[in-house]
Structure 1
Amino acid sequence: MTDRIDITNELDQMSEKLESTLKHQEREAVFAHEANERFEKNLACFREYYPNIASAIDNYQTKDDFCLHVTESGHGNFIPRGKEALLYSQNPISQTKKQLSEQIARPVYSLTDYTGYPENDEDVRIHSRYMVKLTRFMKKVRECGEPKVNALPESFPSAVIFGIGLGYHVPLLLEHTQFDYTFLIEPDFEQFFASLFCTDWFDVIETVDSQGGCLFFHLGVDHKSFINDLEKIAEDIGAFSLVRSFCYQHTPGYELNVLIKKWTEDFFRFQYGHGFYNDAVTGLAHSIHHIRNKAALLTNKSKKLDHDTPIFIVGNGPSLDEAEAFLQKNQNKGIVVAAGTAIASLYKKGITTDFHVLVERPYSNYEIFGNIFPADEYKKVNLLGLNTLYPDTNKRYKWAGIAGKGNEAGTCLLDVLSQIHTAQVLPLIPYCNPVVANAALSFFLHMGFRNIYLFGVDNGKQPSGFHHSKDSIYKANNDDDDSKGYGCLEFDGRMIDGNLGGHVISNDLFLVAHVQLEKLLNLFKVSSCINVGNGAKLQGAIPTDAENLMDLEIPLDKDSTINSIKQGFFNVLPIDDVEDNYIAVDRLDEICEHILSIAEETSSTRIDCAHQLQRQARYIYSLKGSSLEHLFHIIKGALLYYHCPMITLLYQYESEEFCIEQYHQLNELWKSYITEIMDDYKIHYDEKCDLGKVS
């Protein structure tokens, strides 16, 4: 009897297994059919909307064991490269819905505090006055003590989604919330490739497009390329696309964790540094004066130079002192390029400057440089500057050459004039800000020189060291009222890896400068740049202790090399002034009036208000690449500095009624700002900067 029961049980179990296997085979067959159809529809959609991604899909070679596993619920599952476990449970949709529900209920948001701008009533420039008004308004809003928005609303400005996985969460999230800007980040392209069989991306893409939204895929990225991609997007469509974001991690993984850490560390880059009206109109005015002064503009690329010529780019960091003996002994064997105030330190050390690089537009900087270096010595030096530079500066030097700085109103105008009068597009030297050393390196890499030495380009200081060279114009201690010299920007505890080990202490400004230097070296594929001393380590440069530098032996005909640089790269435009029609005062009036007309429309919901801002921004950004691009830059900074807090405010507090009420009040300030720009431009478009000038 026992044997018969056991046999019966075994037969029942075998029958169940067979039935289960047959059902699984049926699920696999159904999934295979649906998945292949889905893949083809997805690929066709990517070919229409994202041709570069479609090309990557076409060319992608899967690994030999690439496999999509069919779950009990009939959905695809996947084991990522280098992992042993499947991404999902046997019911991926149920699992994803649970995760999404938790994320929506307890969301993580990016948020910028707009109450920290300096309240300087002494600075009467338009932008400064309106930033003071903005700061005080945002403080008043904060003091109301309204509850912050908690659960994710049905509309929100942006979503930054880390991990595509098989994509199940994306359509579910977009069903719940409509975003203006959605960023999808996936370091593993293979996972995205697998998602093409599992998720109806064609439906996602077409839905976002029909809503007027923007969907960005960041595939196969590491943390550096991801941040670079975001910077490019912020430049192309505006930083307001990122400042108020729902941040969601879908899949686990080391690469994603690094990306998220980098995103939080570098988020400050998208909050500030937008440029602003007074800077833009001053840069335009200075560019006009450079034309009137017959300044030589960077227009050509010479092929006659010896690009192995040693170029000594000298900043004013403390490591300059470490290399003093080398520079004194070898100054006649290379071209000495002083960045900013380093010219005074070099003079004290008995080292002759061949080229002095300057970028700043304020009159106060012009005045300072007049005080720190003898007038007769300036006449022995050549100037390299950006077109934003205070234009009277040129007259101090033996010769002056000016290059266009990107993202500037004046540069756009110069480029139009260059194309009209010389049939040449004006070359722009890349990554030439935020400090003078960036411009110096950019100049000489653009010219083709590759034998570059960096001295005193530290972007920070040793934990127990000085912030500048001992011969600099700066005080050793800002708090010492009795010591001579100028106060300097404090280093506030931000850290960068040290060039020779350890770390240096920095701040946000020099962190950006450091990143820009690394971008330059990467862009020009430089492998021979020597970074000397105990400053910050630069990816792409060779770290070198000053004591290990070998004296140069090959003599240099400096006069001939310097003349070749000046004659080979620079030309004067064949005009004496800029005609009024290129200044386009009347067109700026039209643009401002159109912005005001949109801003004055009735808006009674968050979505109405958000779309009101979006329409203004897209109108302004449509000017990019046109003959009126200089007017885009005149307005862009003001727009970003006001639209970013306005979009943040709309989605900062739980009460929609409160947010809209505050938005309307802030909108009045914004309209007033635009009106002042319209009135000011026609008067001051060619007025030199007077910041720091005593009346």
Structure 2
Amino acid sequence: MDFNKNIKDAEHELSRLARQKEQEAAMLEVLPVRHELNMAAFEKYMPGIHAFFKEYQPVRPFRFFCNENGVPNVLWLDDDVALYGDDPFAEAQAQIAEVIEHSVLQCIDFVPQWHLEGQIHIAYNNAISKLKENVSLEGLPLRKALDADIPLSFMYGIGLGYQLGYLYERCRVRNLFAFEPDLDMFYASLYCFDWHKLLEYMEQESLSLHLFIGVDEQLLVADMMEALHRKGAFWSASYFSFCHYHSPKLHALIDKAEGELYLLKTGWGFFDDNIYALAHSHTHLQDGTPFLKRERDTSLVEQVPVFVVGNGPSLDQSIEFIRQHQRQAIIIACGTAVSALHKAGIKPDIYVAVERTKSSADFLRILNADDFLKDAVFLSVDVIHPECKTFFRKTGLTFKPNEPMFAMLVSRFGQAFEYESIEFSNPFVGNTGLNYAALLGFKQVYLFGIDNGYKYADKHHSTLSLYYNEKREAKYNENLKGTFPAPGNLGGEVRINHLFGLAIHNMTRVLTSHPDMRCLNCSDGAYIEGAIPQGVEALQVSSPELDKIALLDELMARSFQPFDMGSVDFNAALNVTLFDDLLEKLRTDWRTVKYEHNDILAMMQRHHDYLLYLLMSRDCHLYRVLIGSMNYFYANIIGLMMTLMDAAPDKFEAKVKEAEVILERFFDDAKPIYADAFQRHDSVYFVGLDIFKKK
């Protein structure tokens, strides 16, 4: 045995422990000072965070410690495990180096789309897409994009925050979404990391940080969508994500967030749609069409079963049950499901539609079932095509909250506005049907044919519907490319796409906000959280037969009333002059911006801020009219610039100038269209409806 070596090792360890003790003593003096500085910074920049943690008491016991390097670390006392190893700084620095080296930017790669005649948004977005000359954005390494600002990043787990400093040393992230589900962890970071320096830096550099602390998994995606739209949805055009540390709670959050990130890139709306919305809504108001009241008695149908019927393939399995119990429940036919019910000889009591284009009315003409429909009530949204009303005995409408007319009216009436809005009517008409059932006060809801997905390419709708011929053969096969698996309602899996995912998400939001509503999902499609899976063979409905006409007449009388058109000067409210001035401001900015990547991104943020300012004003409808197209155009241009990362400056400038010219053509065309907005009904026949004419 080498006693001299052992003595030296012991002396070295004693010396190290002494240094560590000195460092810990110094650390414990610094921690409260840093906490005070950080809390002052949060009070200035994020007062909500400051208010929450001002009196916060940790739930999980821990203590701060450090090694002889003096870097604060956390030891969780319940399992005697430290967050970091010997050198937290070195760990954080190494992690960021690995993130930079191996991350791939996830980019929205717009490709030219078919569009209806007269719609300018898609035409010009297609023109921007073509500027990329088929250069793919797939697999773009983060390390090759470091010369430019990165639009967006998702960081899962904040830990003590050390990695943030190293991240911003290596790249500039314009919008960082940082998630920390552990409140105690974030509380500890307030003592360890110089948040005050980071917040000051981001303020000076006009960079954005959004903290999701202790986030509820169920509200996560909604919170993310709200935060992104506040910054500008176009920033989702290019992003990367990484995980800072590992824990079961954090992994559950990552699974939820990453699995539904696609929801951030759907449902933005666009200019032409918003013009139709203004025209159609204005006509309904002029016609005296009743709208759903905010204050209404919903007790009438609490004990009445309602069948919400979609046109999914599993409707075929339920049609006999619906037939047998049709007199005991109110039947809501959602969109094309009415063609399946028509073939089965089952009359709907309520028909709902949501698509604003003329195709909604043209479909009913093709169905050619006026006598079948005439006793039904038509329920829809304010943007629906006015011709739809002519097929039904009564109509009731509800305002869509993210449309320009609702914004225009609420900005004038405020809390005195007497009318309800329907928040989750998109993306499919099944969403409208379920949301209406909830708004009208139904508590016993049954979903049939609300599949929100496919099991087979040739089984995409009910075989009784107009999507199938008289031999019940599919008139086309669904393309399952771009679909992904999701849990099945009655077991197994179904294939869904991004829109189906949004539909499922929005149905869950409806059910969550109406906890007293019992919803049985009898569809053999995708699972909907909040609905009870129930095969049709096990269903029982024991309620008495209904006098449906009398019941619905009473329900309509209690729930809907016309709007007083004399209370608003709509032409003045349109404010054409301000719209034109805004487009000229955007045009001037594009003509004067330096053709450099970061300058263009900064200008895009300013333009979003212009619209955000309008959203807070009396002219907030202008935000609704333009925000969708701005998001699409700017996301597309960000993608274009990403393809030009290695391009020579003159080529970069030439391509961006081409995009600018396309935008200017959009500005020129948009002005006269907006000035005439209330007369701009959709009048184009959609040739895709011809499939319903085939026998």
Whether the 8 Å CA contact 2:175–2:208 is kept in 1: the answer is: yes
Give the aligned partner of residue 593 of structure 1: 584
CA distance in 2, matches of 1:191, 1:146: 33
- 1:511-532 deviation line (CA, Å, top 9, x unaligned): 2211211121112225611111
How has the CA–CA distance of structure 1 residues 462 and 81 changed in structure 2, closer, same or farther, with 3 Å as cutoff? farther
- 1:409-457 deviation line (CA, Å, top 9, x unaligned): 233234456x28x932532112110111101111121233221111111
Whether the 8 Å CA contact 1:280–1:410 is kept in 2: the answer is: no
2:520 maps to which of 520, 530, 551:
530
Alignment of 1:244-643 (within 5 A): 244-303=238-297, 304-416=299-411, 419=413, 423-424=416-417, 426-463=419-456, 466-475=459-468, 490-492=479-481, 493-526=483-516, 528-575=518-565, 579-643=570-634
**2:196 corresponds to 1:205:** no
How has the CA–CA distance of structure 1 residues 350 and 618 changed in structure 2, closer, same or farther, with 3 Å as cutoff? same
CA distance in 1, matches of 2:458, 2:122: 35
Query: Structure 2 counterpart of 1:654, which letter?
Result: D
How has the CA–CA distance of structure 1 residues 265 and 147 changed in structure 2, closer, same or farther, with 3 Å as cutoff? closer
CA distance in 2, matches of 1:410, 1:566: 23
1:61 to partner: Cα distance: 3.6
Identify which range, 527-536 or 350-359, moves more after superposition. 527-536
How has the CA–CA distance of structure 1 residues 465 and 590 changed in structure 2, closer, same or farther, with 3 Å as cutoff? closer
Identify which range, 548-557 or 277-286, moves more after superposition. 548-557
Give the aligned partner of residue 646 of structure 2: 654
Whether the 8 Å CA contact 2:152–2:240 is kept in 1: the answer is: yes
Whether the 8 Å CA contact 2:151–2:239 is kept in 1: the answer is: yes
Whether the 8 Å CA contact 1:301–1:568 is kept in 2: the answer is: no
CA distance in 2, matches of 1:282, 1:625: 23
Whether the 8 Å CA contact 2:60–2:184 is kept in 1: the answer is: no
Identify which range, 435-444 or 644-653, moves more after superposition. 644-653
SS at match of 1:248: strand
Identify which range, 17-26 or 90-99, moves more after superposition. 17-26
CA distance in 1, matches of 2:593, 2:142: 25
1:110 to partner: Cα distance: 1.9
Query: Structure 2 counterpart of 1:398, which letter?
Result: R
Whether the 8 Å CA contact 2:360–2:388 is kept in 1: the answer is: no
How has the CA–CA distance of structure 1 residues 488 and 568 changed in structure 2, closer, same or farther, with 3 Å as cutoff? farther
CA distance in 2, matches of 1:153, 1:649: 16
Whether the 8 Å CA contact 2:210–2:227 is kept in 1: the answer is: no
Unmatched runs of 5 consecutive residues or more in structure 1: none
1:660 to partner: Cα distance: 4.2
Query: Structure 2 counterpart of 1:287, which letter?
Result: S
SS at match of 1:72: coil
How has the CA–CA distance of structure 1 residues 9 and 125 changed in structure 2, closer, same or farther, with 3 Å as cutoff? closer
1:45 to partner: Cα distance: 2.5
CA distance in 2, matches of 1:148, 1:662: 22
Whether the 8 Å CA contact 1:283–1:361 is kept in 2: the answer is: yes
1:41 to partner: Cα distance: 2.2
How has the CA–CA distance of structure 1 residues 488 and 521 changed in structure 2, closer, same or farther, with 3 Å as cutoff? farther
Identity of aligned residues (%): 26
**2:638 corresponds to 1:644:** no
Whether the 8 Å CA contact 2:63–2:76 is kept in 1: the answer is: no
Whether the 8 Å CA contact 2:106–2:239 is kept in 1: the answer is: yes
**2:46 corresponds to 1:50:** yes
Query: Structure 2 counterpart of 1:129, which letter?
Result: A
CA distance in 1, matches of 2:473, 2:642: 50
CA distance in 2, matches of 1:197, 1:146: 37
Equivalent residues, number: 681
Give the aligned partner of residue 138 of structure 1: 132
Whether the 8 Å CA contact 2:174–2:207 is kept in 1: the answer is: yes
How has the CA–CA distance of structure 1 residues 147 and 463 changed in structure 2, closer, same or farther, with 3 Å as cutoff? closer
Give the aligned partner of residue 233 of structure 1: 227
Whether the 8 Å CA contact 1:650–1:660 is kept in 2: the answer is: no
CA distance in 1, matches of 2:77, 2:514: 33
1:173 to partner: Cα distance: 1.9
Q: TM-score, normalised by structure 1?
A: 0.90
Whether the 8 Å CA contact 2:267–2:427 is kept in 1: the answer is: no
Query: Structure 2 counterpart of 1:31, which letter?
Result: M
1:104 maps to which of 96, 100, 106:
100
SS at match of 2:175: strand
**2:86 corresponds to 1:87:** no
1:334 to partner: Cα distance: 1.8
Identify which range, 11-20 or 83-92, moves more after superposition. 11-20
Give the aligned partner of residue 194 of structure 1: 188
How has the CA–CA distance of structure 1 residues 466 and 178 changed in structure 2, closer, same or farther, with 3 Å as cutoff? closer
Whether the 8 Å CA contact 2:277–2:403 is kept in 1: the answer is: yes
CA distance in 1, matches of 2:384, 2:420: 17
Q: TM-score, normalised by structure 2?
A: 0.90
1:627 to partner: Cα distance: 2.3
SS at match of 1:453: strand
SS at match of 1:216: strand
Give the aligned partner of residue 78 of structure 1: 74
Identify which range, 656-665 or 440-449, moves more after superposition. 656-665
SS at match of 1:78: strand
Query: Structure 2 counterpart of 1:498, which letter?
Result: G
- 1:290-326 deviation line (CA, Å, top 9, x unaligned): 1121111112332342423211111112222222232
Give the aligned partner of residue 66 of structure 1: 62
Query: Structure 1 counterpart of 2:204, which letter?
Result: S
2:659 maps to which of 657, 663, 666:
666
Give the aligned partner of residue 693 of structure 2: none
Query: Structure 1 counterpart of 2:273, which letter?
Result: D
- 1:177-232 deviation line (CA, Å, top 9, x unaligned): 33321111223222222211110112211221222222100122365533322211
How has the CA–CA distance of structure 1 residues 488 and 130 changed in structure 2, closer, same or farther, with 3 Å as cutoff? farther
Whether the 8 Å CA contact 1:317–1:467 is kept in 2: the answer is: yes
How has the CA–CA distance of structure 1 residues 147 and 91 changed in structure 2, closer, same or farther, with 3 Å as cutoff? closer
Give the aligned partner of residue 670 of structure 2: 677
1:459 to partner: Cα distance: 1.0
1:147 to partner: Cα distance: 10
CA distance in 2, matches of 1:663, 1:106: 29
Unmatched runs of 5 consecutive residues or more in structure 2: 688-695
1:83 to partner: Cα distance: 6.7
CA distance in 2, matches of 1:74, 1:305: 69
Identify which range, 405-414 or 652-661, moves more after superposition. 652-661
1:176 to partner: Cα distance: 3.5
